[in-house]
Structure formats: structure tokens, C-alpha cells
Chains A and B, each alone.
Chain A
């Protein structure tokens, strides 16, 4: 069974530029999560989808971050314009829509904003 796929793996941009990350979850997983992991910290949720609907985006900086999961499968996370403090690893995870809901993570995208 294929795991969670993410691309690109690495991205370097200058501040005020835009960037987009892509995620394809495990087949059959209704729930998709985007986490931000700043160096030296644990991941923190940015946004959570169930199928193509948003469940929780309370910690998403909506003035610059946006995300969509139009067909309920793959998802795109965008940052526009990027700030230096957005340098982090962006992790995508997916799970079955159930109460235990073990989350399986992709390899992440390492973003460096200069």
C-alpha cells in the first residue's frame, strides 16, 4: 500500500514570494491534515480536512496561507506572500475517519525562506 506522498521535498524561496505544496493521502483515508514543524519543535496543526470539507483551520494564518482539497483526495497548501518565519517542514498526514484515527505522515516539504 502506497504511503502519503508529498512534493516538492525541498524548496528555497525569497520572502514575499509564493509557494505551493502538494499532498496525496493514503487511498481510502477521508481525513487529511497539514502540520507545520518549526526546527526544534513538534508539529502543529495548520488545517484539517474531512473529504473535501474543512474541519479545523483555526490555527491557519489565513492572511497568507490557504489550502484546498477540491475532490476529496489530494490537497494543496499555499503560502503567499512568504515570511522568514515560515521556514519550517510542512507535513501532510492522513487517517481513516474514526475515533482512533492513527495518522500516517508523508516525508514532508522543507521550506527555507531567505
Chain B
């Protein structure tokens, strides 16, 4: 079984500051992926970043980086230089990658509010 835990219901940060959103996971899959999605108030889920369980380096995509600590089963999202447009709900998710086409298991999300 797979489970994602996001313990921060809400986070507040000022513009240009960095912020870390926490995610811990539990999975029985030997090979798995970790994903972060952003959901603005409009409702669409926007893919941000992916980390494979066998990737040696932490994933980065522009201002987003994933702090992957396999032994601690954590996959925290770091957003550098926050912008007002980063205000949204953020979801961590996982899926097995041993076979094609498995569905995502999501956490409950963290609401990020960026102020000027």
C-alpha cells in the first residue's frame, strides 16, 4: 500500500523568500516516483517536478527543487525566491514505476500563501 503524508495544512512566506513544503511517503513498491503538483484556485493540477526512487541526484526545475531523502522517506519541495503567483495548494504524490500506467496516490495538500 502507498501513503503520502503532508503535515503542514498552511504555510506563509514573503515574496523572494525560500519555502520548504514537507512530504513523507510510505510505499511497498521497490521502484517508485514522487511528484509535486500545484493547484491554483482555478482548480487545474499543474505538474511541477518528478523524482525517481533510483535517481542519484535531487531533481530541479527552475525555482523548484526536490529534497529527496530516501532513508527518511521524505520528498520535500523547495521553492526558491517565492512569487505572489506561487500562492496555491501544493500536492505531493507517488506511484509505482515497476509497471506502466499506475495511478497516483496524493497527500492532503499544503496551502501556500505568499505575501508582498
Q: How large is the interface on A (under 10, 10 to 19, 20 to 34, 35 or more residues)?
A: 20 to 34
B47 touches A42 (CB 8 A): no
In the complex, the chain A residue whose C-beta lies closest to that of B49 is: A102
B33 touches A105 (CB 8 A): no
In the complex, the chain B residue whose C-beta lies closest to that of A30 is: B101
- Report the Cα distance A106→B4, complex, angstroms: 22
> A25 to nearest B CB, angstroms?
13
Chain B interface residues (CB < 8 Å from chain A):
4, 31, 33, 35, 37, 42-47, 50, 52, 91, 93, 95, 97-104, 106-109
Query: Which residue of A45, A50, A107 is within 8 Å of B44 (Cβ)?
Result: A107
Contact A108 B44, CB 8 Å, known A99-B99, A100-B97, A103-B104: yes
Chain B residues closer than 8 Å to A101, beta-carbon distance:
95, 97, 100-102
Contact A100 B106, CB 8 Å, known A89-B43, A106-B44, A108-B43: no
Contact A40 B45, CB 8 Å, known A33-B103, A98-B100: no
B108 touches A42 (CB 8 A): yes
Chain B residues closer than 8 Å to A12, beta-carbon distance:
none
> A7 to nearest B CB, angstroms?
13
- Report the Cα distance A99→B37, complex, angstroms: 18
B104 touches A48 (CB 8 A): no
B97 touches A99 (CB 8 A): yes
B103 touches A45 (CB 8 A): yes
Binary CB contact string for chain A from 74 to 105 against chain B (1 if under 8 A, 0 otherwise): 00000000000000010101010111111111
> B6 to nearest A CB, angstroms?
8
- Report the Cα distance A87→B31, complex, angstroms: 35
